[in-house]
Amino acid sequence: MPISQLASSESAGERSKTFVFEDEGHTLGNTLRSIISSYKDVQFCGYTISHPAEKKMNLRIQMYEGRAVDALRRGLEDLVNVCDHTLDLFENELTTFKKENNIES
């Protein structure tokens, strides 16, 4: 998943950035938006898909304080943790189901 940055406004400096994700869409965009928007130091987080034929997702982050790239990094790390937790829960439930129903792997 290549990520690039678009230019930010001079007055905002590192607090306001737009990141472009290649070959990504609503699934990643909405999930990251939801996670990053919950941070207290984030003023705004939103995403757009410019056109269905173009496989790019733009994610805009504006901070009250701190750097936008740090919020993105934290959001991606939190998303990995959520996915890992979900996978662990699924695997535990699958193991339990197989044991209760005498199903071999």
pLDDT digits (tens, 9 = 90+) for 40-93: 999 999 999 988 888 899 999 999 999 999 999 999 999 999 999 999 999 999
Long-range contacts of 80-84 (CB under 8 A, 24+ apart): 82/35
pLDDT band for position 6 (cuts 50, 70, 90): low
pTM score of the predicted model: 0.82
**CA 30/CA 22 separation, integer angstroms:** 15
In a 3-state reduction of DSSP, which class is residue 63?
A: strand
3-100 CATH: 3.30.1360.10
Instruction: Please report the sign of the dihedral spanned by the C-alpha atoms of residue 72, residue 78, residue 80, residue 82.
Output: negative
